[in-house]
Structure formats: structure tokens, C-alpha cells
Amino acid sequence: MDMLLTLTSVTIFTLMLTIGVGESFEQLSSLWRQSRDLLHALFAALVLVPVVVIVLLLVFDLPPAVATGMAVLAAAPGAPLTRKRSQMAGADVHYVAPLQLALALLAVVVTPIIISIFYALFDLSIERVSPLAVASQVARVTFVPVVIGLLLQRFAPKLVTKVKKPLNMLANILFIVLILAIVAAIAVTPEMQAMLLIGWSGLAAILIMAVAAIGIGHLLGGPRPGHQAGLATATLARNIGLALFIVELSENGAQSIPSLLVYMLVGSAAAIPYAIWIKRKIKVQSN
């Protein structure tokens, strides 16, 4: 498990570093100058997904641990792997990269607020989380490698030119290895298999959450399929690392980890048919 966590950290750092060396500051901040696209994206990921989860928790009689996991996921946007997963769906990466960073930045303020709302409505097994705690986690995982990349572009452009392509190749390899390692760990570790048994009602609620997130992102992504694919992926891809960080702050938070893992697996599975369909749509429109 320790090796898997280390591999995850290295992969995320490398993927975020590729954003820093591959995109300019102007590109990464471009979404803030497109108010309509930004508002649609924020409404999808920060408002509608939490609303869907509130409805699901009211409809399904879920154990507190599962309800807590879903609530934390709804409050944790800006997943570090969003850009890579969006590429697999044929999304416009120049739209996704600034979107991913915008969601991660706003998580500092939004995540504690959303958790407080869920905390007031439901019996959660975690405590409220402070913006400072969220900010430290998001900065360490998301913004530090991006800033390093941007600084390299500014002060060592020749080095960036040399390492950009090998770094992208390394990031792709690490991403594939990480996926295979997670699958292998689940396949050969009875403890992890047991953790995924959260009950049919929990599984159904998480599946509906994932499918709804894809649909919300697609519908609010505008007329361009590349943006539809990007926002659908960004809305679906909740920040599992931030969610784990939040639940582990509480004494009983570890009980919610299985629902986080199930969402990661169910969300990835739900994204496959969507990615196949939207890539075909993008290909047809480009011809």
C-alpha cells in the first residue's frame, strides 16, 4: 500500500509538472477571462453535483460512512488527474487545464462551505474542515508542481524545450503504471476487495452520482464537443486525494474510505462509454 501511495504521489506531481511546463500563464488563466464558460463550469462542478448528492442522500437510506464519503466527494472538485482523463475522452486540453486549476483554487473556499452544508443536513462521521487545511493540501499537490513548471519556463526555457517531450512520455507511462497497479492491488489483496463491499444501495447511489456528473458536465459544456468532454470529465473527476485528506482528519473518517474507492472505480467505468461516444462525435465534426 505504501508503494502504491508513493507511486500515486509521483504520478500526480509529474502530471501537474507537465501542465506547468506545457502551458503558459496566459493559457492557464484564460478561463477567468471567459465568464460564460467559467460560470457554466463552476455551476456544474460546485453547485449541481452537491445538489445531486443531497437528493441521493435524501432518497437512499445509506450508512453514515457511505453518506459521508459521497458528501466529501461532492465537496472536493479539481482532481489532479482531470487533464489526463480528459485527453482520453478527446477533450480540448487548453480548456481543461485552466478549468482544473480554477476548480482546485476555488476548492479552498468552496470545500469547507459545502461540507458545512452537508454536516447541517445529514449525520456525517467527520468534522468540519478549515480552509487553511484545504489550502495546504491543494497547494502541495496541485499548485507547487505547476508553479515549478512555470518558473522553469521563465528562467530556463532551453531546459524546458529539452525536457518537455520526455516529461510528457514519463507522465503517460506513470499514469498507465498507476492504473495497472491499482487494478493489480485490488485483484490480489483480499483486504482491498473487502473494502469495496459497501452494499447495493451505496453502489447504486454512487453510480447515479457518477452518471449524473457526466451528464451535467456535458450539457453545460456548450456547443463544442471538446468542451463538453472536458467539463463532463472535470465534473465527474472529484479530488480523491483531497477527499482522503479530509476524512482522515476525523477519528471515524477512515470508515468512509471504501466509498471513495468505489466512486473512483465506478466513475472510471462510467466514463468509458461516454469517452468512446464523445470521441466519435469529435471525429465526425472534425471531418
**Residue 195: exposure state from Cβ atoms within 10 A (0-12, 13-18, ≥19):** middle
Map out the domains of the chain with their CATH numbers.
Answer: 2-281 (1.20.1530.20)
- Give which of 21, 26, 18, 71 is closest to 49, Cα–Cα: 71
Extract the C-alpha cell encoding 167. 516529461
- pLDDT surpasses 80 at 287: no
Taking the C-alpha atoms of residue 27 and residue 199, their distance in angstroms, rounded to an integer, is 44
Q: What is the pTM of this model?
A: 0.90
Specify whether the CB–CB gap between 65 and 256 falls below 8 A: yes
Write the pLDDT tens digit of every residue in 228-267: 999 999 999 999 889 988 988 888 888 888 899 899 999 9
pLDDT per residue over 13-67, tens digit each? 999 999 999 888 888 888 888 889 999 999 999 999 999 999 999 999 899 999 9
Number of neighbours of residue 60 by Cβ within 10 angstroms: 17
For the segment 95-123, the average pLDDT, to the nearest whole number, is 91
